[in-house]
Structure 1
Amino acid sequence: MNKRILSIITAIALTLYAGAATAQQLSLGQISAYLNQLQTAQGGFTQINADGTLSTGQIYIKRPGRIRFEYNAPADSMVLAGGGQLAIFDARSNTGPERYPLNQTPLSIILQDNVDFERADMVTNVTSDGTTTTVTAQDPDNPNYGSIQMVFTANPVELRQWIVTDETGTETTVILNDLVSGGAIRDILFNIQAEIRDRAG
């Protein structure tokens, strides 16, 4: 990882965690309760891709089962989850989105209707550095689908970032910033067919 990317990550981390030094380790019950009450949320994100490049954009979450990543230029791509599917829109492609069943991706763990990290074999690791609590989770019935490592702060409990490791071992880090929970988010934002029509037009 080059020095520029490392310095950007460090700056983001310092901004996110400033003033949280007194946080305690969160319990799995507290984290599950936080995610279950998180019905809608939106904000910005910085993504660290597997090749070390950075992408930025806006994220919209509407649980259960819906998430939208709008990538800024030059990427101009999009990732949508809705209707049980995850669709990846590549701005450079003219063949339509790649689609996968959402329940076969690690993102489904935090988007499911009832998150229960106390379920047997769902959480594989929990650590705390006194500032944040990091939880690594997987689908206990299908660990081959990959895992998601989530970083939370306390007082109040907030999701700050995650690292998704897919079935091939590829890691993608998403750092959340200015995530605001609550408020109305239109269902059309998560409609894969509507997005296909918009791009075709």
Structure 2
Amino acid sequence: MTRRIFIFAMTALLAIYAGAASAQQLSLGQLSGYLNQLQTAQGGFTQINADGTLSTGTIYIKRPGRIRFEYNPPEKSLVIGQGGQLAIFDPRSNQNPETYPLNQTPLGIILQRNVDLGRARMVTNQTSDGTTTTITAQDPDNPQYGNIQLVFTANPIELRQWIVTDDTGTQTTVILNDLVSGGGINDRKFNIVAATRDWRP
């Protein structure tokens, strides 16, 4: 009887371990596939800024190449990625938005038309705690642009969080809340020219 209990316990432990191991085995191919099928998505986000302050708002994604962060009051900032550019609208400024090449920011990695995380030197680290899989990715040809750390859950695979480290070493964390994929998003939301014309901080 004791031996039976021992064998049963060991079998149960092995099953638990196998389940955890399975959760740990999200491959780069699976994660690439998930990002490539994520054509549109929207939801809330909480941003932890480099100085420790918090911002909240709504995020819109339309791959390839388009993203929009609408920040809630009192911040009221706006960030739009479209047409290979990333535009930052600052309510404290009366000037046109600052713009940067999107492919020179780590966000450009996940907004590419075809994400291939298995590409040589793109993923520099991959870990799992049995619940989440975390990878750190960079532009393999231009690592000086910084990197993005992506956190995924499994069953189904979902992107939950990212940490962008820019070319100055500054880190910004974005935690996604109730990100819903699919559905139509009007292209005007990603129109930098229209947003510049309509911008009222």
Pairwise same-fold verdict (TM > 0.5):
yes
Question: Aligned partners of 1:73, 1:32: CA distance in 2, in Å?
Answer: 35
Percent identity for Structure 1 against Structure 2: 79
Q: Secondary structure of the equivalent of 1:108?
A: helix
- C-alpha contact 1:48 1:54 (8 A) present in aligned 2: yes
- The equivalent residue for 1:193 is 193
- C-alpha contact 1:161 1:174 (8 A) present in aligned 2: yes
Q: Secondary structure of the equivalent of 2:23?
A: coil
- The equivalent residue for 2:79 is 79
Q: CA deviation at 1:199?
A: 1.4
Question: Aligned partners of 1:193, 1:71: CA distance in 2, in Å?
Answer: 19
Question: Aligned partners of 1:91, 1:30: CA distance in 2, in Å?
Answer: 40
Question: Aligned partners of 1:196, 1:89: CA distance in 2, in Å?
Answer: 8
Q: Secondary structure of the equivalent of 1:144?
A: helix
Aligned length: 182
- The equivalent residue for 2:45 is 45
- C-alpha contact 1:109 1:138 (8 A) present in aligned 2: yes
- The equivalent residue for 1:91 is 91
Matches within 5 A, 1:25-36: 25-36=25-36
- C-alpha contact 1:89 1:98 (8 A) present in aligned 2: yes
- C-alpha contact 1:47 1:173 (8 A) present in aligned 2: yes
Q: CA deviation at 1:200?
A: 6.0
Q: CA deviation at 1:23?
A: 3.5
**Which amino acid in 1 is paired with 2:164?**
V
Q: CA deviation at 1:92?
A: 1.1
- C-alpha contact 1:25 1:132 (8 A) present in aligned 2: no
Question: Aligned partners of 1:130, 1:196: CA distance in 2, in Å?
Answer: 45
Q: RMSD in angstroms over aligned alpha carbons? A: 1.5
Q: CA deviation at 1:24?
A: 3.4
Question: Aligned partners of 2:131, 2:109: CA distance in 1, in Å?
Answer: 24
Matches within 5 A, 1:70-149: 70-149=70-149
Question: Aligned partners of 1:56, 1:96: CA distance in 2, in Å?
Answer: 23
Question: Aligned partners of 1:106, 1:116: CA distance in 2, in Å?
Answer: 14
Q: Secondary structure of the equivalent of 2:92?
A: coil
Question: Aligned partners of 1:164, 1:43: CA distance in 2, in Å?
Answer: 19
Question: Aligned partners of 1:116, 1:69: CA distance in 2, in Å?
Answer: 25
Question: Aligned partners of 1:140, 1:38: CA distance in 2, in Å?
Answer: 23
Question: Aligned partners of 1:200, 1:32: CA distance in 2, in Å?
Answer: 38
